[in-house]
Chain A
């Protein structure tokens, strides 16, 4: 069964550094998402992406964050200047249709640790 893959599985970075988290969504899916989960807390929506543009973003997704689909297969999340509070598990997801109409398929996540 096709799956969403994320790399790296664990990223350690120093405060103020830039990080790029990478995702390869399922190939025939058109909608892409980033979520994060701070340890022991709920899964929070960051951003959704469709037709090469952001379709929705949360208050968390401020100017430090950006997303890109640089080619036909990858979907990336960039954090320009990391803060301690950015430490979390970041999940990429994709869906064939909108979230209302088709289930999201999640990757196994990238654990980001900011020191």
Chain B
């Protein structure tokens, strides 16, 4: 079945540092890929998405490129802020199932001033 693997966390950075959170996936067919973010006490919010190979999703300074050859969708941001502290989830839909999202295990990001 479909699966998503994220880098082990937690990740702790200083403000303005560069962020990379690795994500790789296993799926048949051509899934859509997503990054969701969960702020403390809240539900999951869509951060960005990409629906086909070589697409780049971007939002709020975050970017991720759909790499089919490496089955990856790594999240990057050039300069993180304290307000980016949250849990980040990589997810896919449409591999073996069009009807659900499959999530990675989540990566806790803490940004210090």
- A42 in contact with B43 (CB, 8 Å): no
The verdict on A68 contacting chain B, using a C-beta distance below 8 Å, is no
> In the complex where A41-B105, A42-B106, A43-B89 touch, is A99 in contact with B100 (Cβ < 8 A)?
yes
Closest Cβ of chain A to B78, distance in Å, is: 24
- A45 in contact with B100 (CB, 8 Å): yes
With an 8 Å Cβ cutoff, the count of chain B residues facing the other chain is 24
The verdict on B46 contacting chain A, using a C-beta distance below 8 Å, is yes
- B106 in contact with A50 (CB, 8 Å): no
Of A44, A45, A99, A105, which is within 8 A of B98 by CB? Answer: A99
Q: Please count the residue pairs between chain A and chain B whose beta carbons lie under 8 angstroms apart in the complex.
A: 66
- A106 in contact with B45 (CB, 8 Å): yes
Distance A45 CA – B97 CA, assembled complex (angstroms): 12
Distance A42 CA – B90 CA, assembled complex (angstroms): 11
- B32 in contact with A100 (CB, 8 Å): yes
- A42 in contact with B44 (CB, 8 Å): no
- B44 in contact with A91 (CB, 8 Å): yes
The verdict on A113 contacting chain B, using a C-beta distance below 8 Å, is no
Closest Cβ of chain A to B24, distance in Å, is: 15
The verdict on B102 contacting chain A, using a C-beta distance below 8 Å, is yes
Question: Chain A, 20-58, contact with B by CB distance < 8 Å: what is the 0/1 string?
Answer: 000000000001010000000111110010100001100
- A31 in contact with B44 (CB, 8 Å): no
- B99 in contact with A31 (CB, 8 Å): yes
